[in-house]
Amino acid sequence: MKIILVSAVALIDADGRVLLAQRPEGKSLAGLWEFPGGKVEPNESPETALIRELQEELGIDTWASCLAPLTFASHAYPDFHLLMPLFACRKWQGIVSGREGQSLAWVRPENMSNYPMPPADLPLIPILRDWL
C-alpha cells in the first residue's frame, strides 16, 4: 500500500483556539474539517512543506523554529496509508484567510468534536484537548 506523507499544523491563537479548515467542494472528503497543511513533496521536509502550504492556503508566513512537533496520525484509507505529523504553531505573520475557497473556524479544543473530521484527524483531538 502506498504511504502518503502529509504535514499538518494546529495553529493556536492567543485565546487557545485552534484553526480548522473545511475541505471545499470538489476535493475528496469535501465538507469535513481538518488541520491546515498538505502533501510533502519529494525532497521536502515536513516543516518546509507546512511553511509552503500555510502561505498557499492561508496567506501567512511562519518559520521552522516556530513549528513544534506535537504528535502524528497513522491511518489506513482504502487506497493508501496516511502518515501525518502534526505540529503546533503559535507564531506567524499575516492575517489568516482561506485562499482556496475553504471555510475557516477558530475552535476551542473541547469543541473540536462538534466538527466532522476525516478519520485520520479524529485521534488528534483528545491529544490537543489534553495538551492545551
Query: How do residues 47-62 score in pLDDT, each as one tens digit?
Result: 999 999 999 999 999 9
The answer, yes or no, to whether residue 28 has pLDDT greater than 90, is no
Q: What is the DSSP letter of 41?
A: P
Grid look-up 482504502 returns 78
**Intra-chain end-to-end CA distance of the chain, in Å:** 34
CATH number at residue 59: 3.90.79.10
- pLDDT tens for 66-115 read 999 999 999 999 999 999 999 999 999 999 999 988 999 999 999 999 99
Burial zone of 111 (CB within 10 Å; 0-12 exposed, 13-18 middle, 19+ buried): middle
Report pTM. Answer: 0.93
Return the closest-CA partner of residue 108 out of 88, 122, 129.
129
Range of the domain at 113: 3-131
**What is the total count of domains within the chain?**
1
